[in-house]
Amino acid sequence: MASSASERRPRIGITTYLEPTVWGVWQREAALLPRVYLDSVVAAGGVPILLPPVGTDPSVLEILDGLVIAGGCDVDPAAYDAVPHAETADTRPGRDAHEMVLVRAALEAELPLLAICRGLQVLNVALGGTLHQHLPEVVAHDLHRPSPAVFGRTEVKTEPGTLTAQLLGEQAGVHCYHHQALDKVAPTLTVTARAGDGTVEAAEVAGRNFALGVQWHPEENPEDLRLFTALIDASRRRQS
C-alpha cells in the first residue's frame, strides 16, 4: 500500500553540476553532485532527487517538498550585468539560468529552500543583487578559500531574531570554499550572518517561511545537520 503524504519522507530536489567526467572506460559529460549533499539530506530524514541543468521545467517542483541549490562554479557576471573579472572562471550560464528558474518558482510556490555557497549567490542574483567577483581584493586575504580543494574555517556571527540565529545560535564555526560573495544585496533578501571581515555569510528571503541561503558548506560537516534538519522539518510542515 502506498504511503500517505504525511507518512512519506520529504522529497528534496538538489541541483547538480553538468561537467566532463571520467568513470571506468568512459569520458563523457555527466550530471554529477558530491555525495555529501545526498548523505546530508538522507541523514536529516529526506529523500534526495537530482535536478540536472537540462530540460528545465519548474513544474518539477510540484512533486517536491523542498529544494537545495548546490554549490559549484562562478556565476556568469552577465547575469548581473557585470564585466568578467580576471579571476572569474569556469562559468556555466546554462546552469545559472536553470537554477534561477527553479529559485523563482520555489519562492512563488512557498517551497522550502536551502541555497548553499554558489546557491546563495544564485539566489541573490535571481532577485536582483550583484556579486564581488574576487573576494580577496575586498577583504585582503584568501582565508575563505585557502588553497585548491582545501576548505577554510570561518566564524560567522548571526543577526538576532532571524531564522539563522534561531537555528545556529549567536555564532558558529563553518566550512567555506569560495572566492566570490554577495556585493549589492537583493531588495527582498535580509542579511542574517556575516564573517568577521564583513563578508555576507547568510541571508533570508523576506516574507517566506523557509528560504535561507548560506555562503558556507553545511554538507561538509556531517556532525552538524541543523540546516538540513530545518529544511526537512519545513518540508514536512508544508506536506501537512
Q: Among all residues, which ones are annotated catalytic? A: 117, 217, 219
d(CA 65, CA 234): 9
Strands 11-15 and 47-51: parallel
> Angle 93-108/118-126 helices, nearest 10 degrees?
70
